[in-house]
Amino acid sequence: MRFEYAPAPESRDVVDIKPSYGLFINGDFVDGSGTAFKTINPASEEMLAEVAAADEADVDRAVTAARKAFESWAALPGRERAKYLFRIARIIQERARELAVLESLDNGKPIRESRDVDLPLVAAHFFYYAGWADKLGHAGFGADPRPLGVAGQVIPWNFPLLMLAWKIAPALACGNTVVLKPAETTPLTALAFAEICVQAGLPPGVVNILTGAGATGAALVNHPGVDKVAFTGSTEVGRLIARSVAGTGKKVTLELGGKAANIVFDDAALDQAVEGIVNGIFFNQGHVCCAGSRLLVQESIAEELLDALKRRLGTLRLGDPLDKNTDIGAINSAEQLARIRSLTESGELEGAERWTASCPLPDKGFWFPPTLFTGVAQSHRIAREEIFGPVLSVLTFRTPAEAVEKANNTPYGLSAGVWTEKGSRILWMADKLRAGVVWANTFNRFDPASPFGGYKESGHGREGGRHGLEAYLDV
């Protein structure tokens, strides 16, 4: 049975996008010295705004501003820093609808997700770390742990404002000042956040936002005035950063790629598992580093599960990200769409069997329908490389030991999922899986109180929880 849905678009009127944006340095919006670039709506390819690009001189100005602000920000009593962060959290809640729409416009993600997942988590993250600012002496890092100084932070385009929150909230709570570079394709919510800093009365220079591409990020990471580098993005760039900070004494945390196994045993609650698989790989168009991109299903139920999964995928609605009924939004950029296409083509060439949900794709914008591959071998590129799109590779196993062996057969180690009704098996699996987050009978859950981060080539350091403080303290 197919249900027809009338369009239910969220209003764009709540956002006021300016024709052009500058850099946010020392509390002011200033012109950038690099060549300005355009940010577009990936669902329509319409231009949203022109954004300044920061060059090395701009980076230097921002780092200098952050350095100057550091002295007094670090000297501020923790309870005062806390209050600034609480203010920011409140303003985010007040402007949540506007920010959600802006995020969906710039990123392409469904409004249902930006409204119900991204924004609530953004506010929660600031609330959580606000509360730590005057309790650092109780966090287990000594009586009076000190901040590091200036944090240079580079974030990706998949959760633009949420990744900003993950970076800025703990950094400020611990007494650091920051220079943050949002992703080239999704700068708008970070620039809105700069306005929020102004509204909150945050002292100038405590937060600086530099827009630009990879060169801006490299200049920031390599600036000698930066004491701490925090990066979320690809393992490839993470490697370059780890190499470039060698011997400098800069503290580094890296949240990188993943190729998570989502493991379904024959006794799992099937309908719940199907929902979990869908949430695991089709949430945010699969633009999720911890996405459950490898489905490992026990052989005896593979057929039944795949039938149910395909049936469910047939009901997903792809289209206008601002439509409240939309499940699958737009791919963030033409470049990412090309990468997804190239990897799915390799899946076919290497002999895996492709199945794609039949759904009409809009004429304009960047789209990729929910797709799964069966008959995938562990050596296939689609089983080893991060696709970062709505593409699921399905493998089978017979025994728990085989499931563990296959799940761990990857250089990544960010997350994993386990579906079974047997408690002791969950704990055994959780123990054996080499991954920083294990979701049992659930998937893609996030909370500011819960540490997140990877094993192996998925990076080092944790974000969230008490553990997340360590990245921003001189300990």
Partner 1 sequence: MSETGRLAVRKTYKLFVGGAFPRSESGRSYVVSSSKGDFLANAARASRKDARDAVVAARKAFPGWSGATPYNRGQILYRVAEMMEGRRAQFVAEVVDADGVSARKAGELVDAAVDRLVWYAGWSDKIGAIQGAANPVAGPYFNLSTAEPTGVVAVVAPPFGPLLGLVSVVAPVIVTGNTCVVVASERAPLPSITLAEVLATSDLPGGVVNILTGHTGELAPWLAGHMDVNGIDLTGCDPDLARTCEQEAAENLKRVLRPAKTDWLADPGLDRMTTFLETKTVWHPVGI
Return the number of the residue (309 or 440) whose C-beta is nearest partner 1. 440
Applying CB under 8 A, does 247 fall inside the site for partner 1? yes
Q: Per rule CB under 8 A, is residue 460 in the interface with partner 1? A: yes
Residues annotated catalytic, as ranges: 255, 289
Which of positions 374-403 make contact with partner 1 (CB under 8 A)?
Answer: none
Among 118, 184, 386, 457, binds partner 1 (CB under 8 A): 457
Q: Which residue type occupies 364?
A: K
Strand-pair partners of 373? 354, 393
Nearer to partner 1, 42 or 453 (CB): 453
Residues in the interface with partner 1 (CB under 8 A) total: 41
Cα separation, 8 vs 122, in Å, equals: 25
* Per CB under 8 A, 140 contacts partner 1: yes
Tokens (6 digits) for 26: 């020392």
CA dihedral 469, 470, 472, 475 (to 10 degrees): 140
Q: Of 2 and 445, which CB lies nearer to partner 1 in the complex structure?
A: 445
Considering the rule CB under 8 A, would residue 249 count as an interface residue with partner 1?
yes
The residue (of 95 and 460) whose beta carbon lies closer to partner 1 is 460
Q: Is 466 in the site for partner 1 (CB under 8 A)?
A: yes
Contact pattern from residue 253 through residue 292 relative to partner 1, giving x for each residue in contact according to CB under 8 A and a dash for the rest: -x-x------------------------------------
Q: Per CB under 8 A, does 242 bind partner 1?
A: yes
Is 453 among the residues that bind partner 1 (CB under 8 A)?
yes
| Backbone φ, ψ for residue 177 (5° rounding) | -110, 160
Query: What are the start-end ranges of the H helices in 133-213?
Result: 160-173, 188-199
On the 0-12 / 13-18 / 19+ scale of CB atoms within 10 A, 269 is middle
Query: Residue 400 and residue 408: Cα distance in Å, rounded?
Result: 12
Task: Give the dihedral sign, CA 277/279/285/287.
Answer: negative
Which residue number, 182 or 464, has a Cβ lying nearer to partner 1?
464
The one segment of 1-9, 185-193, 248-256, 297-305 that binds partner 1 by CB under 8 A = 248-256
| Residue 165 DSSP SS3 | helix
Say how far apart CA 73 and CA 81 lie, in whole Å: 8
Q: Find tokens 């600086």 and name the residue.
A: 208
Chain centroid offset of residue 295 CA: 21
Q: Closest separation between CB of residue 240 and partner 1, Å?
A: 8
Query: Helix (H, G, I), strand (E, B), or coil: what is residue 259?
Result: coil
Q: Which residue, chain included where needed, has tokens 């800069």? A: 250
Question: Among the candidate windows 31-39, 50-58, 243-251, 347-355, which touches partner 1 by CB under 8 A?
Answer: 243-251
Least distance from C-beta 136 to partner 1, angstroms? 16
Q: According to CB under 8 A, which one of 112, 259, 287, 456 is a site residue for partner 1? A: 456
Single out the segment in contact with partner 1 by CB under 8 A; choices: 179-187, 234-242, 328-336, 375-383: 234-242
C-alpha to C-alpha distance for 276 and 23, rounded to whole angstroms:
40
Instruction: Give the one residue of 105, 124, 136, 383 binding partner 1; rule: CB under 8 A.
Output: 124
Q: How far apart are CA 340 and CA 337, in angstroms?
A: 5
Please identify which residue in 185, 235, 253, 420 interacts with partner 1, judged by CB under 8 A.
235
Q: Which residues pair with 147 in a beta bridge?
A: 473
Q: Is 169 in the site for partner 1 (CB under 8 A)?
A: no
Residue whose CB is less far from partner 1, 389 or 436: 436
Closer by beta carbon to partner 1, 61 or else 228: 228
Q: Can you read off the two tokens belonging to residue 364?
A: 């304009």
Q: Which of positions 403-442 make contact with partner 1 (CB under 8 A)?
A: 411, 426, 430, 435-442
Sheet-wide strand order for 150-154: 28-30, 23-25, 207-209, 177-181, 150-154, 228-232, 251-255
- Burial of 34 from C-beta contacts in 10 A (0-12 / 13-18 / 19+): buried
**What residue ranges bind partner 1 (CB under 8 A)?**
124, 140, 235, 238-240, 242-243, 246-247, 249, 254, 256, 411, 426, 430, 435-442, 445, 447, 449-453, 455-457, 459-460, 462, 465-467, 475
